[in-house]
Amino acid sequence: MLNSYSAKTKVDPKDAKLSMAHFFVAFGALALGGLMGLLQTLVRSGKFELPLGIGYYQVLTAHGVLMGLVLTTFFIMGFQYAAVSRTAGPHSNAARRTGWIGFWLMTAGTLMSGTMILLNEASVLYTFYAPLKAHWIFYLGLTFVVVGSWVDGAAQIMTYAKWRKNNPGKPSPLLSFMAVINTVMWIVATIGVAATVLFQLLPWSLGLVDRVDVLVSRTLFWYFGHPLVYFWLLPAYMCWYAIIPKIIGGKIFSDSLARLSFILFLLFSIPVGFHHQLTEPGIDPAWKFLQVVLTFMVVIPSLMTAFSLFATFERYGRSKGAKGLFGWFKVLPWNDARFTVPFMGMASFIPAGAGGIINASNQMDQVVHNTIWVTGHFHLTAATSVVLTFFGISYWLVPHLTGRKLTKAMNKLGIIQAWVWFIGMAFMSGAMHIQGLLGGPRRSSFSTYGDSQQALDWIPYQIAQAVGGTILFLGIILVLIIFINLAFFAPKGDEEFPVGVAENLEEKAPMVFENWKLWLGITAALILFAYTIPFIDIIQNAPPGSKGFKTW
């Protein structure tokens, strides 16, 4: 196990090639999706109109799909594939072929869905809620993306399984264990979205059936939609737990605590979708309450993570002679983009997590549910905590994979980029939160609603969002410059793939953590408990269903 953590270990060049292929698609999605986001905020300010007959909801759908699904899924799969190769050993030829098949399936699906969005044949927003109806190619493309991600994830599981077979009775490398937990959670969660697309939306869009059950479709989407958030978040946690300690020169506070927190995310992130449907008729309130309780269980591994991280920082600081309650804060390596950029993501997660508790609380959710507050929360969690950490990972991982070095100039530009992003998001997300409390709706283009005074009061906040969106787009330009430099132009060299070791090397992680039958069994039991009876009730008491609508 310790050999796999050697600082000299590199990702196999053949594995690096596949990881980089994922990153090229991810950063391409960032460029196009970021432009769509900028256009949205400019339109919502009331000071700009889209040219060439481009529709607002066309742009909104492209932004959500490219940033929320394409950027994240490709980056995560590329990162996890490299992390497993680095810690569990090079992937076999069979696993590598599996990974490439998954990558090309995902890429083909992305091109199919993206083309339909750009042709205005799929302006159904990021959640593609029925009865909004898209072209069948859009739904088939989504199916390819999901199935491709399963195949991509299978490559990681194959290499993990090979390591387990060759090292019986030993706990697997921490990063590989975390990657597999996240992949398994993703596969279980995406069964919901695959089911609604394959059995409802695809036949409906092909005209094989006339109507669709909207509540069934929405329930299956949110069975997937909330664990999707943790699918984004857990790779950031992988960096925070296992990589940041090595970067700062410290140790992982507890290997076992890190593993336990990931298992708790697997258990409690899936049977909670009803907290996105608290205002939805047709679902018994008792089942909504149960899933809200399960939602708050996810707070536990989040607080475990916060404790572990700050224990690592404080112990490192004390080892450097730091005194007082916060003396350790001063000795952290603030001039190292590999640390500072993810740390800013961590700091953003404090208000983001607090907003999540509000969204999941039945009474408070009534106030903010269909307002732009939710969009502001989303941009603090996914677009700040997660994305800033992803940027920080790319600053050392891309040169590691391409055989180049993170130069002082790029390191400094990375820190500048993070501050630009942080400031832009403070403007945009802050204004969204306030406008949401004033009743401003989400998913809506600019409107004064007949010069209603309430709507006119929102306009200053919408202008602030445009200012923030413009600053964020500058941040995207900066990160693309850094990515292109590190991929093609930085000087040749060896950039470390940092992997931390536990503070107490004698502490052996309990093998029960690797008992997949146990954890998958509990996960399945929780899902069946949370969904079986309400789902039967939804189907038995279903209305006739809805015909499709193409609104835009």
From 211, 315, 369, 443, active-site residue: 443
pLDDT band at 76 (very low <50, low <70, confident <90, very high): very high
Q: Give CA–CA dist 45/308, Å, rounded.
A: 42
Q: Give CA–CA dist 7/162, Å, rounded.
A: 22
From 22, 91, 276, 379, active-site residue: 379
Q: Give CA–CA dist 57/125, Å, rounded.
A: 7
- Give catalytic status of residue 377 as yes or no: yes
From 74, 79, 177, 230, active-site residue: 230
Token pair, residue 326, equals: 């916060």
- Give catalytic status of residue 138 as yes or no: no
Q: Which of 131-145, 313-327, 400-414, 415-429 has the lowest mean pLDDT?
A: 313-327
First to last CA, the chain: 56
- Give catalytic status of residue 400 as yes or no: no
From 24, 315, 442, 446, active-site residue: 442
333-348 mean pLDDT: 96
User: How many CB atoms are located within 10 Å of the residue 169 CB?
Assistant: 8
- Give catalytic status of residue 44 as yes or no: no
Identify the CA nearest to 255 among candidates 241, 267, 243.
Answer: 241
User: Rounded to 5 degrees, what are φ and ψ at 329?
Assistant: -60, -35
- Give catalytic status of residue 276 as yes or no: no
CA-angle at 361, arms to 358 and 365, nearest 5°: 70
From 135, 226, 259, 338, active-site residue: 226
Tell me the pLDDT tens digit for each residue of 532-544.
999 999 999 998 9
From 343, 378, 422, 531, active-site residue: 378
Identify the CA nearest to 499 among candidates 393, 403, 412.
Answer: 393
Query: Residue 8 has what pLDDT?
Result: 60
- DSSP letter at 442? S
**Radius of gyration, alpha carbons of the chain:** 23
- Burial of 506 from C-beta contacts in 10 A (0-12 / 13-18 / 19+): exposed
Token pair, residue 402, equals: 């391409």
pTM: 0.96
E strand segments, 16-68: none
Cis peptide bond prior to 460, omega within 30° of 0: no
The answer to whether the CB of 252 falls within 8 A of the CB of 312 is yes
pLDDT of residue 481 exceeding 60: yes
Tell me the pLDDT tens digit for each residue of 361-404.
989 999 999 999 999 999 999 999 999 999 999 999 999 999 99
Query: Residue 270 has what pLDDT?
Result: 93
- Give catalytic status of residue 315 as yes or no: no
Q: Give CA–CA dist 186/15, Å, rounded.
A: 22
Q: 13-547: what CATH class? A: mainly alpha
Mean pLDDT across the chain, nearest whole number? 95
At 441 the three-state DSSP class reads strand
Identify the CA nearest to 511 among candidates 78, 264, 164, 63.
Answer: 164
**Domains of the chain by residue range:** 13-547
pLDDT of residue 306 exceeding 90: yes
326-352 mean pLDDT: 95
pLDDT of residue 316 exceeding 90: yes
CA-CA distances (angstroms) from residue 7 to 3, 87, 212, 406? 9, 11, 55, 16
Q: Which residues contact 407 (CB under 8 A, 6 or more apart)?
A: 490, 491
